[in-house]
Amino acid sequence: MLGDRDDILQLAIAVYGEPAQTDMCLEEMSELAKALLKLRRFPGDRASGKCHALLDDIREEIADVQIMLDQMKLLYGYTEAHEEGKLARLEKRLHERGCA
């Protein structure tokens, strides 16, 4: 049975330690980058079985990265204020390009 998400993440930090979880975050981000690059190099039809497997691998790596990012927020602080500022800048750039 799955417990509370934050409790599980805090327990992982407590069991493995901050340095190990930070290293794991870097490793998971690297695996996501590798999966994305594999898809970019894929010349085939996006509806093919091979492409489906690549997309499934990307989704799995995104999940791993998200779990690690959530642990990083617990370790280093939440990012909502930073995200809002960055989203506002992105929105401004998009408007300047005539989008939206």
Residue 43 to residue 98: CA distance in whole angstroms? 32
Give me the domain span that covers residue 88: 5-96
What is the per-residue pLDDT across 27-73, written as a single tens digit (0 to 9) for each?
999 999 999 999 988 877 776 777 889 999 999 999 999 999 999 99
Give the global pTM: 0.88
Domain total for the chain?
Answer: 1
Do residues 97 and 47 touch, judged by C-beta distance below 8 A? no
